[in-house]
A and B are shown apart, each in its own frame.
Chain A
Amino acid sequence: MSKENKAGKQTRVDLLQGTLDMLILRTLLFGPLHGHNIAHYIKQTSEEVLKVDHGSLYPALQRLERRGWVTAEWGTSENNRRAKYYRLTKAGKKQLLDETSKWERLNAAIARIMKPAGEES
């Protein structure tokens, strides 16, 4: 493991702390999914811009379950494999709503600041 790699990973983890949670909740909005589904869903829908270390997904899922925003139960996957499915709870939906509006406000604010600069350059 090289130096930059480690340093890079650290900043990304810090950045993703809340965002990853939000992304997972958003992904689960359409129904229960297992971890692998979630990883690919995020990757595909972001058109591969967001690269999530699959490994960091599981601590996040444990955290969401601990907060009571998702529940988990074992099920069978599309290829007949035992997998753990995560389902959004009522509290999770509310949290997602809160997060989304917060995120939208933040996004709009940042966009207002960034746009003129982008046009000038």
Chain B
Amino acid sequence: MRWRKELSFIIRRVIHRRRAERELDEEIRAHLEMEIEQNIAEGMSPEEARLAARRSFGSLALSKEDSRAMWGLGSLEILWQDLRYGLRMLLKNPGFTTIAVLTLALGIGANTAIFSVVNAVLLRPLPYAESERLMWLWDTIPQLPTAPTSLPEFLDWNEQNRSFEHLAAFQSGNMFLDTGDGTRDTPVGLVTPETFALFRANPILGRVFTAEETLPGRYRVVVLGHAIWQNRFGADPNALGRKVELSGAAYTVIGVMPAGFSFPNRAELWRPLSIDPAKLDRGPHYLSVVGRLKPGVTQAEAQAEMSAIAGRLSRQYPEKNAGHGVRLEPLRDVIVGDIGPALFILLGAVGFVLLIACANVANLLLARAGARQKEIAVRTALGASRPRLVRQLLTESVMLAVGGGAAGLLIAVWGVRWLVSFGPDTIPRSQEISIDPRMAGFTLLISVATGALFGLAPALQASRPIFADALKESGRASAGVQRNRLRSALVISEVALSLVLLIGAGLMIRSFAKLNQVNPGFNPARALTIGVTLLRSKYPDDERVASSFAQLLERAAAAPGVVSVGAISELPIGGSNTNDSFTIEGRPPVAKEAQPLTEYRVVTPRYFEAMGIPLLAGRDVAETDTKRAPNVAVINEIFAQRHFPGENPLGQRIKLQGQERDPLLIVGVVGNVRQFGLAEPPTPEAYVPFLQDPLSQTFQRSMTIVARTKADPGAVAGSLRTALTSLDKSLPVYALKPMTEYLRDSLARQRFNLILLSVFGVGALALAAVGVYGVISCGVTQRTHEIGIRLALGAGRRDVLRLILKQGLKLVLLGVVIGLGAAFALARWMETLLFGVRPTDPLTYAGIAAVLLLVSLVASWIPARRATRVDPLVSLRSE
């Protein structure tokens, strides 16, 4: 019953708020008047009576506020009041509010975005069941610690091990899929049947491969990926049994996988790996192997067992397997690769940005607390209690923080989208990146905690009772000194932190510049490349292949705008590597595991010319270097230097492993080419003529044609394609792009690091500049009086300017010194990301420090100039 009465009291007061206010005013006024009358009646003078009445009443405002508090819902009411008041205060200072909210949004948004990426790429398990039991098995051969394996070795591993539930071998690559609506370049996985069981991936339609389907002549079946089934079969439930053409051969669809399964390497289609028990060769190493550990078996135990098996095999087959071992690595580490250090550095960098942002907002709030001294003093005098003031100020800063958090979330959403757009080649697992709800909670937590943290300090300080002094003496309150010291400390740390970030960015910029200066060994400008594959269905034999390639090259050369044309099996930078060990004729025999390696490429005549690779000695491969002529090879400079020092390589003969007779006669030496990226030093290479291809029984069916163009390659692309397809309309041509694009793509990871660190660095610089500006500007305001006296006593404008600039410079210099020290200590973590620059590169350090000093000087010059305009008369009178 009682609460109902109480509620009706509240409702009446809320609805008739104004009347209630008026009545309360009237009641109190009547009270005071009665008191005055009574005082006069007791013999006081009217003035005395009035003062006595006010004295005995106490704080009018407090009495009213406490009375009003009885009309509402208590603390909820106060909160609502504080929120409204806070919002009004924030809107009254749009500059302060905008900067504070943006600063926080930047810090929180960037952190959430980068953390989302780190979480998805490095922290979350792979999207497979019990993925921590998945291991990659490398074959370690003497020359290469992480090699693929050979088919017989895989079969031995699979048969002899007791540690793995399943072992699966696979190859990945692109094939041409024709589902009746044109040929398309499609990523395909050639897999052993265990692959699906190993990943616990079950088809949503049909079945996966059987062991028999790996046998010769039985492997003409495919399992479709979800995307292909949707896009090219219209999600047809009757797709099973349909025929498709894969690189010219007919296959039958037997199953469809669920969405999200795309192992290996973003495969969209699977075909059985063909295993011919009659042709097992331990020579070629081309298979990747993944295994699932049995429950309870550790990586170390499995490693020990596999090493024992490998040791047995190398004794059993000393000819081919000598020195071979096995190395286990968690699948996740292989997929994630070496992006870990870069991501952790970026995470550290955004952490710095958040620290700077918080320092900046704390700084802003402190500055504002100074400006609000008077307001707070007045409110204290009117009876506002300290907890009440703290609460009010805290409400304001939490509002700021929540605003910043909300804006930060927007930035995070946008930032993640932007980061994902760098693509899976830059960020592995990028398709798994998303902002999850926990991350949103994390953001909110950061923002509210930040608000409480920096909101509380100024609130406590500002509401300290001494502030009543501010009523009397504006601008020279004793607490001001302490606050200035805190603000200076904040600015110094902002400067130091942003210097560290900028040095990180500077080192990346220097590395990037160094990378771009690297001579790739070929001339990428005006080199247009296009991939061509001659499918077995149309070009059944070697003769057709050879004559067709000759025709294609001829037509390409005749295309308008083309200067010269050649072709190669694997492009530098863009292609994959194929290498082999070799021996040099006439030298003492070398144990197999000690034999040197060389890259191995198949080229047509004039490839070097088209690519702009200089011929240093001897001759190019020629049309006359055919199967009927003696085998020849062209080697690169480092091959010559390393293996024929002080000798003439021309006329020497080398024998590749797997080549039984007819060694290769070295007929030419060409310049080095950066095969694996600009940062990788060149390695020995052997180029063999297309028409000889001594390691293969048949000719290459996939070649990349390189055309040197007269003008911009983009303008020639169309006519080159037309020239090629004029021979065969259905000829699969692909990867039509200039060589410069391959170079650019090869630097994608570095560019990613560069852009991100630069964005953070510049953001930090801007925040630090705002911080410096704020402190100096506030200092000028506080010292107006002092400056007025100085001017009145005859100081010149220049002296004042110098005085203020000196104050700013002192802070910044201190920050720079601390920052340089911190950068020096931290930069070594960046070593793996750098190229051609030491982490302690003095030029970068000096340059960045200079930039920071300059920016800070400008930031303190603006308020300093204001100080010189102080009118001594006005400033002294303002006392």
Contact = CB atoms under 8 A, between A and B. Distances in A.
A58 interface: yes
Given A53-B58, A91-B2, A35 B71 contact: no
Interface string B373-409: 0000000110001000000000000000000000000
A3 interface: yes
A67 B2 CA distance: 7
Given A1-B468, A53-B56, A66 B70 contact: yes
Contacts of B24: 58
A82 to B, nearest CB: 7
Contact of B37 (A55, A63, A79): A79
A58 B67 contact: yes
Interface string B1-28: 0100110011000000000000110111
Given A54-B58, A55-B62, A66-B10, A82 B30 contact: yes
A107 to B, nearest CB: 27
A36 interface: yes
A67 B63 CA distance: 19
Contacts, number: 85
Most B CB contacts (10 A, CB to CB) among A35, A39, A54, A81 go to A54
B35 A36 contact: yes
A66 B37 contact: no
Contacts of B9: 65-66, 68
B35 A54 contact: yes
A71 B35 CA distance: 23
Interface string B465-477: 1001000000000
Interface string A58-73: 1101110111100000
Interface in B25-77: 26-28, 30-31, 33-35, 37-38, 56-60, 62-64, 66-67, 69-71
Contact of B30 (A36, A53, A62): A36
A23 interface: no
B5 A82 contact: no
A34 B60 CA distance: 18
A6 B23 contact: no
Interface in A7-60: 9-10, 34-36, 39-40, 53-59
Given A3-B465, A65-B9, A58 B71 contact: no
Nearest to A51: B56
A59 B26 contact: no
Contact of B58 (A36, A55, A83): A55
Contact of A77 (B2, B5, B34, B67): B34
A93 interface: no
A55 B385 contact: no
A35 B34 CA distance: 10
Contacts of B31: 34-36, 39, 54
A61 B69 CA distance: 12
B6 A68 contact: yes
Contacts of A10: 385
Most B CB contacts (10 A, CB to CB) among A35, A58, A66 go to A58
B2 A59 contact: no
A43 to B, nearest CB: 9
Contacts of A66: 6, 9-10, 70-71
B637 to A, nearest CB: 87
Nearest to B63: A55
Given A67-B2, A68-B9, A84-B23, A56 B70 contact: no
A33 to B, nearest CB: 12
Contacts of B10: 66
Given A56-B58, A81-B30, A84-B27, A68 B67 contact: no
Contact of B5 (A39, A61, A68): A68
Most B CB contacts (10 A, CB to CB) among A55, A61, A62, A65 go to A55
Nearest to A38: B31
A45 B573 CA distance: 102
B57 A55 contact: yes
A68 B69 CA distance: 16
A44 to B, nearest CB: 12
Contacts of A61: 67
Contact of A68 (B2, B28, B66, B380): B2
Interface in A71-94: 77, 79, 81-84, 91
Nearest to A7: B465
Interface of A: 1, 3, 6, 9-10, 34-36, 39-40, 53-59, 61-63, 65-68, 77, 79, 81-84, 91
Interface of B: 2, 5-6, 9-10, 23-24, 26-28, 30-31, 33-35, 37-38, 56-60, 62-64, 66-67, 69-71, 380-381, 385, 465, 468
19 contacts: A1-B380, A1-B381, A34-B30, A35-B27, A36-B30, A54-B58, A55-B60, A59-B67, A61-B67, A62-B67, A62-B71, A63-B70, A65-B70, A66-B6, A77-B34, A79-B34, A81-B30, A83-B27, A91-B2
Q: Across the A-B interface, give the 6 residue pairs with the lowest CB-CB distance, nearest first.
A: A55-B63, A59-B66, A53-B58, A62-B70, A55-B58, A54-B57
